[in-house]
């Protein structure tokens, strides 16, 4: 990574503001997936063990600049405490007199978690005064929130105008793993792209066509490509306003001689429901009263046979409605297959979002080369875009002066 990291700084006796991505899914105040908390542990532990006092900050959900009791970080503090084996103190707000008092009491090795940053509209607005106030809490800024690095918010970009800014260990791993896909992937490099809609992934598809030898499209987004070829798909989700874009992607794939594979059979159901009965049909024979909910076994075989030739695999997006057991076979089988390729020396990267959830549910995360914590961030990185939270970090050859907390 071409940026300073937390290992490049003597943090002993310093107060460090760590922006983490602790935006975990909650169900009635219960964390259903703690992967992002676990991913943040190495940086937190490193700083504490090296004598820093840590002011930890994150957002949770989308409170839209207002206090929302359902989106308080208390469950995160409790889970983090369990993982660290010590209680984690919290503030009642991200800023204010009470926060300053709590921060002033911190001693080397202490940890304090601020309340949800997005309870303040100034956070997402990247308000300069809010950013400066956050910076006033510390001597050094560490960005470990790759999942929020594509947003120029007060805690990801604005704060870096007032403090020396370095990468956390998770940020370093994310950037290094994804950079490898951009500049030196082992070939053949194949991508598996799924999920519900084409509209959110047009740019990454365009980018992948310039880097990959094959792109395999599944999930609901494959319907739009199939519809663009004139295939009837019953009640299936089809983005009618994206048919032209799908045609363009297919044309570009032909022009660049990239193999773009689409499903040849599908699992269909009358509705998306845990009791819905499913059956498999050939693409082109989807009944008018049914919808595609997963790739079929013929498609899975074709996809995996082609992926067996790859030396690098990037996967983003499920192959079907994996939340329903009877509609999850394609996604689960794909996850198991890709995990198995890792053992064969293939570089396997899972790029955020629901595909990560599927991998986590199956207990396969540690069998992938890299599982990204950033959905949108990982896609924008692969599109070749500059991520504000990454660009704001000090370059690797920069000198850091912590006295007074200025750059």
Q: What is the CATH number of domain 6-174+388-405?
A: 3.40.50.1260
Structure tokens at 337: 């297959």
CATH 3.40.50.1260 is right for the domain spanning 187-345: yes
- Helix (H, G, I), strand (E, B), or coil: what is residue 15? strand
Q: Is 158 a catalytic residue?
A: no
Q: Is 351 a catalytic residue?
A: no
* Catalytic choice (65, 109, 200, 376): 376
Question: Torsions phi, psi of 137, nearest 5?
Answer: -85, -10
Per-residue model confidence as pLDDT tens digits over 153-187: 999 999 999 999 999 999 999 999 999 999 989 99
* Catalytic choice (197, 259, 336, 407): 197
Provide the pLDDT confidence category of residue 406 given band limits of 50, 70 and 90: very low
Rounded Cα distance, 378 and 235, in Å: 31
Q: Is 353 a catalytic residue?
A: yes
Rounded Cα distance, 193 and 352, in Å: 11
Residue with more model confidence, 196 or 142? 142
Rounded Cα distance, 350 and 375, in Å: 10
Rounded Cα distance, 51 and 140, in Å: 13
Q: Is 256 a catalytic residue?
A: no
* Catalytic choice (353, 375, 389, 405): 353
* Catalytic choice (4, 36, 72, 341): 36
Per-residue model confidence as pLDDT tens digits over 36-68: 999 999 999 999 999 999 999 999 999 999 999
Per-residue model confidence as pLDDT tens digits over 352-371: 678 888 999 999 999 999 99
Provide the pLDDT confidence category of residue 403 given band limits of 50, 70 and 90: low
Rounded Cα distance, 265 and 279, in Å: 11
Q: Which residues of 246-265 are buried (b: 16+ CB within 10 A; e: fewer)?
A: beebbeebeeeebebbbbbb
- The CATH 3.40.50.1260 domain(s) of the chain lie at 6-174+388-405, 187-345
CA distances from 239 to 197, 235, 242, 247, 322 (A): 7, 12, 5, 12, 20
pLDDT of residue 401: 79
């Amino acid at each position: 990574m071409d940026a300073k990291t937390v290992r490049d700084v003597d943090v002993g006796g310093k107060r460090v503001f760590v922006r983490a991505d602790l935006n975990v899914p909650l169900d009635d105040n219960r964390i259903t997936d703690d992967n992002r908390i676990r991913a943040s542990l190495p940086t937190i532990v490193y700083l504490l063990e090296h004598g820093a006092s840590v002011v930890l900050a994150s957002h949770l959900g989308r409170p839209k600049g207002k206090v929302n009791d359902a989106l308080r970080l208390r469950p995160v503090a409790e889970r983090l405490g369990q993982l660290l084996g010590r209680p984690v103190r919290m503030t009642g707000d991200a800023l204010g007199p009470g926060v300053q008092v709590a921060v002033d009491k911190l001693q080397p090795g202490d940890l304090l978690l601020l309340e949800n940053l997005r309870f303040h509209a100034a956070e997402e607005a990247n308000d300069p005064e809010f950013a400066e106030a956050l910076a006033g809490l510390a001597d050094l800024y560490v960005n470990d929130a790759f999942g929020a690095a594509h947003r120029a918010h007060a805690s990801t970009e604005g704060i870096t105008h007032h403090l020396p800014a370095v990468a956390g260990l998770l940020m370093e791993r994310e950037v290094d793993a994804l950079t490898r896909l951009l500049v030196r992937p082992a070939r053949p490099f194949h991508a598996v792209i799924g999920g519900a809609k084409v509209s959110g992934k047009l740019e990454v598809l365009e980018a992948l066509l310039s880097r990959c030898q094959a792109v395999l499209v599944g999930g609901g987004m494959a319907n739009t490509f199939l519809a663009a070829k004139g295939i009837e798909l019953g009640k299936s989700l089809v983005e009618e306003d994206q048919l032209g874009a799908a045609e363009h992607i297919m044309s570009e794939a032909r022009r660049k001689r990239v193999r773009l594979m689409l499903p040849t059979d599908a699992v269909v159901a009358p509705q998306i429901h845990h009791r819905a009965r499913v059956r498999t049909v050939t693409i082109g024979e989807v009944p008018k009263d049914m919808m595609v909910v997963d790739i079929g076994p013929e498609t899975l075989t074709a996809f995996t046979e082609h992926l067996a030739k790859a030396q690098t695999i990037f996967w983003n997006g499920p192959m079907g409605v994996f939340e329903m057991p009877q509609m999850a076979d394609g996604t689960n089988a794909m996850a198991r297959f890709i995990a198995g390729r890792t053992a064969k020396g293939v570089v396997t990267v899972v790029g955020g979002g629901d595909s990560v959830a599927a991998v986590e549910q199956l207990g396969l995360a540690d069998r992938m080369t890299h599982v990204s914590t950033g959905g949108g961030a990982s896609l924008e990185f692969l599109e070749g875009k500059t991520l504000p939270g990454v660009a704001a970090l000090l370059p690797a050859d920069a000198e850091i002066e912590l006295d007074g907390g200025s750059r």
